[in-house]
Amino acid sequence: MLYIFAVYFALAACALASLSAMIFKIGEALAGCPSTGRAAKAGSLTIVTGFVAIGGGAILIIAAGVFMTLNEIAVEGAMAALGLSILCLGLGFTHAIATLRDVVAQAAQRAAEQ
Residue-wise pLDDT for 61-83, tens only, equals 888 877 777 666 677 777 888 88
Q: Report the C-alpha gap between 96 and 90 in whole angstroms.
A: 10
Average pLDDT over residues 18-30: 92
CATH number for the domain including 93?
Answer: 1.20.5
Task: Count CB-CB contacts under 10 A for residue 73.
Answer: 17
Average pLDDT, integer, range 6-23: 92
- Position 15 in a domain: yes
Distance CA 30, CA 64 (A): 37
pLDDT at 37 over 80: yes
Predicted pLDDT of residue 20: 95
User: What is the residue range of 43's domain?
Assistant: 2-107
Q: Is residue 76 part of a domain?
A: yes
Q: Which has the closest alpha carbon to 100: 35, 61, 51?
A: 51
